[in-house]
Amino acid sequence: MPQKIKVSTSQPDNYFLTNYPNPFNPSTKIIFTLPETYNLELTVYNAYGQKVQQLFKGLKEKGNHELQFDGKNLSSGVYYYTLKTDKFSETKKMIIIK
């Protein structure tokens, strides 16, 4: 008898932020989960704290999201991406290798 696979359809109740692959060349996916609908900003910074690119600014619904970041015009090195909402802020490191 085949096994039944349970698929979760529940809504997220926590924040989650990551990127894959990391290190990358030339692009990566920034993946995040929101427990509520928020106005948010997702921004990439260089190692000096200078804004490189704002990936998104606006309203995102509760749930799982994915944005593509293209670093083909950037030099190799460490970069940071920050997700900010009214209730949450997190920064993670990513590495471009060329």
Let me know if residue 58 belongs to a domain.
yes
Q: What share of the chain is helix, strand, coil (3-state, %, to 5)?
A: 0, 60, 40
The torsion angles phi and psi of 84, rounded to 5 degrees, stand at: -125, 130
Sequence-distant contacts of 72-76: CB under 8 A, at least 24 apart: 72/26, 72/27, 74/46
d(CA 97, CA 29): 15
Let me know if residue 3 belongs to a domain.
no
Of residues 1 and 16, more confidence is placed in 16
Number of domains in the chain: 1
Domain extent at residue 27: 16-96
With a threshold of 0.75, does the pTM exceed it?
A: yes
Let me know if residue 11 belongs to a domain.
no
Let me know if residue 4 belongs to a domain.
no
pLDDT of 39-97, one tens digit each?
999 999 999 999 999 999 999 999 999 999 999 999 999 999 999 999 999 999 999 99
Let me know if residue 72 belongs to a domain.
yes
Confidence of residue 11 (pLDDT cuts 50, 70, 90): low
* pLDDT above 80 for 12: no
* pLDDT above 90 for 2: no
**Would you state the pLDDT for residue 14?**
87
